[in-house]
Amino acid sequence: MNVGVKSRFSFPGGVHPPGKKALTSESQVQPGPAAKQVAVMLSQHIGAVCRPLVKKADVVKAGQKIGDSDAFVSSPVHSPVAGKVKEVALRSHAVLGRVEAIVIEADDEGPAKQPSFQVPADFDVGKYSAEQICEAVRESGLVGMGGAGFPTRVKIEPNPQMPKDNLIINGCECEPYITCDYRIMLEWTNQIIAGVKLARRASGCSHVFIGIEDNKPQAIEVMNAALQGSGDGDDIEVVPVKTKYPQGGERQLIRAVLKKNVPSGSIPPMIGVVVLNVATAAALAEAVISGIPLTHRVVTVTGEPVNKPGNYYVPIGTSVGDLIEFCGGVSEDCAKVVLGGPMMGIAIADLTTPTTKAANAVTVLTKEQIGRAKFDRRVTPCIRCGRCLEACPENLNPTRIAHAVKYNLLDVAERYCMSGCIECGCCSYVCPANIEITGYIKTGKIFVARQKKKMANSKK
């Protein structure tokens, strides 16, 4: 770490897994594969699922809106390529199992799209009203690109009943292996700052903070220099935060920077805070200034078995298999493919699974890594050491919740605030008994959701 960067902010709990970022941290953003076929999911955001606006055999243009919903909490989807709709059918989804997608065959393979957007020299945020910004963000299909995919328009839209005062830009990227946001901060700095200014104008926030972990001194230096050069150094503050997982969780980042807690069951706007990922801020600038919809994103393809790990600008809807093939394939000791990072990512068995707006990484793990986790580490009874309590960033009792789920005591799990778990995996990481605590909690949440849905349907 650069001794000149002093971290001042952190949060209770958390862990320190090996970073493993050296594999791709020096890899500049490069064009990804030229898509022959993409499968654009109609559900790749929190909120209402989009309905298809096209049908089989329709001809579509690159950037054309192909799915939308009338619901307020939703976000349209667009085609990243020009071509013909092959079918509207179910495709594998890492979280939801099978989801309807619009499958498009590209007209011709052609060259891969370059990330070419530049902020105009005469950019003036004063030319845009809050209404114009929110409408452009909504029409572009912009969602959170570093987490669950919450529609950005809903976050930044002014609401007199919930006034927003603090805007936090999340540049932490605390997950091991992933470096796409780091490279975006180094290479698309001015684009991020333009997006920050637009988000501040739309939301009405008076204070802006850019949180970056202190193991990224070059990103901190570049962002500070760009802010000083644009005359915004006094209005937008770069905040070095302590390197710790999950520092990039929005609840943890708010706690670290503002010393505020987001109540369980609430969202940041309820306490006057808006949190946007740096990639989201960059895409926001594209959407508002040039009307470019969200059809591509930077994805880190990484892991020791990957022959050409790096950061690639990828059409949304590209399959994981095509992306891995573009990176030269993998070595024989490949054992698991994870969509996302090793802490919160989802292992996938189907390599035809398409990338989505929130898919920031594909991580490939080795047989040795999986062997240590799955076979060499024998699961034993809980020894009541309390390490999971110390590590939990949400101050929960993870083992109590996991045991309640294990014995089907879902009401007990709910009393221990199971819904407040952010599924970061810290408890499982530190457990000396090797209990898959997070897995039990995820299962419990699924069962509770199914029960509630069943009860709701029975009342209709």
CATH number of the CATH domain containing 280 = 3.40.50.11540
Question: Phi and psi (nearest 5°) for 174?
Answer: -85, -15
- The pLDDT value recorded for residue 455 is 84
Q: Are residues 279 and 418 in the same domain?
A: no
Single residue among 223, 255, 290 that ends a domain in this structure:
290
- The pLDDT value recorded for residue 148 is 80
In 3-state terms, what secondary structure has residue 130?
helix
Q: Are residues 275 and 383 in the same domain?
A: no
- The pLDDT value recorded for residue 375 is 47
Using 70 as the pLDDT threshold, list the residues of the chain that sit under it: 1-8, 109-111, 371-377, 460
Which residues on neighbouring strands pair with residue 103, listed in sequence order? Answer: 39, 87
Please count the structural domains in the chain. 2
Q: Are residues 235 and 133 in the same domain?
A: yes
On whether residue 6 sits in a domain, the answer given is no
Kindly give the residue spans of alpha helices, DSSP state H, lying in 231-364.
250-258, 278-285, 320-326
Residue ranges making up the domain that contains 187: 115-290
Count CB atoms within 10 A of the CB of residue 87. 15
On whether residue 31 sits in a domain, the answer given is no
On whether residue 20 sits in a domain, the answer given is no
Beta strands at 207-213 and 236-241: parallel, antiparallel or unpaired: parallel
Single residue among 290, 322, 345 that ends a domain in this structure:
290
CATH number of the CATH domain containing 393 = 1.10.1060.10
Per-residue pLDDT of 77-95, as tens digits, reads 999 999 999 999 999 988 8
On whether residue 47 sits in a domain, the answer given is no
On whether residue 128 sits in a domain, the answer given is yes
On whether residue 36 sits in a domain, the answer given is no
On whether residue 17 sits in a domain, the answer given is no
Percent of the chain with pLDDT over 70: 96
In 3-state terms, what secondary structure has residue 306?
strand
Single out the residue of 281, 331, 277, 279 nearest to residue 305, CA to CA: 331
Single residue among 246, 269, 290 that ends a domain in this structure:
290
Question: Phi and psi (nearest 5°) for 274?
Answer: -120, 130
Does the CA dihedral 338-428-216-334 come out positive or negative?
negative
- The pLDDT value recorded for residue 376 is 56
